[in-house]
Structure 1
Amino acid sequence: MPEFNDTTLDADDQYLVPALERGLKILELFSHRDPVLTPNAIAQRLGLPRTTAIRLVQTLNTLGYLERANRDRDFRLGPRVMKLGFDYLTSLAITDIGTPVIERLRDATGFASHLVVRDGRDVVFVAKAWTHDATLSTIKVNVGTRIPAHASVHGHVLLGDLSEAEIEALFPEPMLPTYTPSTPRTAKEVFDRAQKYVAEGCAVSESSFEPGISVISAPVRDGSSMIVAAVTLTVARPFLEKAMVDKGLVGQVMHAAYELSERLNYHGAKS
């Protein structure tokens, strides 16, 4: 029997496993341009018989590398793809895996939901699940919108892992810009607010950044237990009505954030 080494792989294709090769090529078909695909589309692009494509897709779905989308008609990359460790797939995961989570939150509550991340001193909206509520039509929040992290409840949630020294380095000004009376004015106040929300597992803000708008925000953690994003719910009211809280609105946001955390390989306890 010939000795097996790295040069053998380069020189001889007798060790290739066709089914594995096809499965990996299926995963490579998914991108920002094509986040969901049907088995028929996969078969056509790879030149496979339809029945072969269906079997491969079903196998990847069973293993968690693909999941059903659009009422089970299509497929998208599944959360287990994260375990492959590809940087590109990791960057896709927060938005592509997170979008159906915030869409379900929107459907369950009737309010607009967003996924936000921190970029330095800013909060960036990276995905949204909008609502047809006319009262939200004047709010101009789109994917790519930035708001100051120190002044928003989203930012306070996203800063939850930082030490007081790290927050002071991020916001060195003796007096930070204020937008409402509740805006923190110093790095110490930002740190205290962030730690409060870490302890509570979520944040509820009523007209703290924009008058007439209330927000519920909960942290999303990855496999390293670090905060990498936040799931938010926007309510076009200056104050959250008691009936909303009693119906578990805060709990629904926290559940959505934990669901996305699990999809990012977080294994910690719920907040």
Structure 2
Amino acid sequence: MSDYNETETASGAEDTYLVPALERGLRILELFCHHDPVLTPNVIAQRLNLPRTTAIRLVQTLQSLGYLERANRDRDFRLGPRVMKLGFEYLNSLALTDIGTPVIERLRDDTGFASHLVVRDGRDVVFVAKAWTHDNTLSTIKVNVGTRIPAHASVHGHVLLGDLDEADVEALFPEPMLPTYTPHTPRNAKEVYERAQKYAAEGCAVSESSFEPGISVISAPVRDSSGLIAAAVTLTVARPFIEKTLVDQGLVGRVKAAAKDLSERLCYYGEEGQGKE
């Protein structure tokens, strides 16, 4: 008998996959507000109509994960730093995309090529903003916001890994042999690190069909107020290689200028072409 009955209603199907403990935990976090910054397990149990022992277990679990912490007396709890961290990271991501979108749109308008803003999430590169082009040659290469690609295999990832030392890269990619996508894909952490350092020294990366055949990419790092790489501005050229005429037109320089512009908008004014000297 199938685990999923296709004749179920949409709401019934959704209810089937709800996790009660997770739902209760999230509802507990929602109880804390400006008017009620501190709550006891007894109050939580009453407001959510839960057994007191269940409320205590849920509160202790949230405390162990850092989402709640004790306040005042031992029986009182308030939101922990993990909740604030989530909130600040969300706001920071909004600021990056809000500030970065006009920059990549202008880069698209200046060059005629699709431009993206990407960040690194662990071993992946995530596309967080895009400025698409109406060029028909790109019609089959739809990269949407939220798309993920492996950091070790893409020029975007190599640029975003530019701050990491060799030990950090080895910890991130411990496999003796990494998945390869083209003959240009680094095969291990050492090769990933060497590629990242090369692009870090150059302040930009140009990749021709290194991850996807027929697609060339120019990518430059964006630094935030701390001086660390926060994102990368990229330009996608739907060609197996970038012609000399495009290079002579300053295509690479325009990508670097866009990354510099966004870095300055994020209050980075460092050296090496990433800010005001």
Shift of 1:165: 0.2
Q: Which residue of 2 aligns with 1:189?
A: 191
Shift of 1:172: 0.2
TM-score (norm 1): 0.68
TM-score (norm 2): 0.66
1:80-91 mapped onto 2 (5 Å cutoff): 89-91=91-93
CA distance, structure 1, for counterparts of residue 92 and residue 188 of structure 2: 34
2:248 to 234, 246, 249: 246
CA distance, structure 1, for counterparts of residue 258 and residue 246 of structure 2: 17
- Shift in alpha-carbon separation, 1:167–1:210, aligned structure 2, 3 A: same
Q: Are positions 1:110 and 2:109 aligned together?
A: no
Shift of 1:90: 2.5
Q: Which residue of 1 aligns with 2:22?
A: none
1:172 to 174, 178, 190: 174
Shift of 1:127: 0.2
| Higher CA-based Rg | 2
Q: Which residue of 2 aligns with 1:99?
A: 101
CA distance, structure 2, for counterparts of residue 89 and residue 266 of structure 1: 18
Q: Which residue of 2 aligns with 1:144?
A: 146
1:128 to 127, 130, 139: 130
Q: Are positions 1:200 and 2:202 aligned together?
A: yes
In structure 1, what residue type is equivalent to 2:143?
V
Q: What does the per-residue CA deviation read over 1:201-239, in whole Å, with 9 as the maximum and x for residues that have no partner?
A: 000000000000000000000001000100000000000
Q: What does the per-residue CA deviation read over 1:4-43, in whole Å, with 9 as the maximum and x for residues that have no partner?
A: xxxxxxxxxxxxxxxxxxxxxxxxxxxxxxxxxxxxxxxx
Q: Which residue of 2 aligns with 1:154?
A: 156
Shift of 1:87: 5.5
Secondary structure of the 2:102 match is helix
Shift of 1:120: 0.3
In structure 1, what residue type is equivalent to 2:262?
L
CA distance, structure 2, for counterparts of residue 235 and residue 207 of structure 1: 10
Shift of 1:93: 1.4
Q: Which residue of 1 aligns with 2:65?
A: none
CA distance, structure 2, for counterparts of residue 106 and residue 165 of structure 1: 37
CA distance, structure 2, for counterparts of residue 224 and residue 193 of structure 1: 23
- Of 181-190 and 90-99, more deviation after overlay is shown by 90-99
Secondary structure of the 1:115 match is strand
Q: Which residue of 2 aligns with 1:77?
A: none
Q: Which residue of 2 aligns with 1:229?
A: 231
Secondary structure of the 1:143 match is coil
Which structure is higher in RCO with an 8 Å CA cutoff and minimum separation 6? 1
Q: What does the per-residue CA deviation read over 1:82-133, in whole Å, with 9 as the maximum and x for residues that have no partner?
A: xxxx655423111000000000000000000000000000000000000000
1:11-30 mapped onto 2 (5 Å cutoff): none
Count of aligned positions:
187
Runs of 5+ consecutive residues of structure 1 not aligned to the other structure: 1-85
Runs of 5+ consecutive residues of structure 2 not aligned to the other structure: 1-87
Q: What does the per-residue CA deviation read over 1:143-178, in whole Å, with 9 as the maximum and x for residues that have no partner?
A: 000000000000000000001000000000000000
CA distance, structure 2, for counterparts of residue 173 and residue 240 of structure 1: 33
CA distance, structure 2, for counterparts of residue 88 and residue 118 of structure 1: 15
CA distance, structure 2, for counterparts of residue 155 and residue 231 of structure 1: 12
CA distance, structure 1, for counterparts of residue 186 and residue 244 of structure 2: 26
Q: Matched residues, percent identical?
A: 83
CA distance, structure 2, for counterparts of residue 89 and residue 172 of structure 1: 32
CA distance, structure 2, for counterparts of residue 136 and residue 123 of structure 1: 20
Q: Which residue of 2 aligns with 1:215?
A: 217
Secondary structure of the 2:177 match is coil
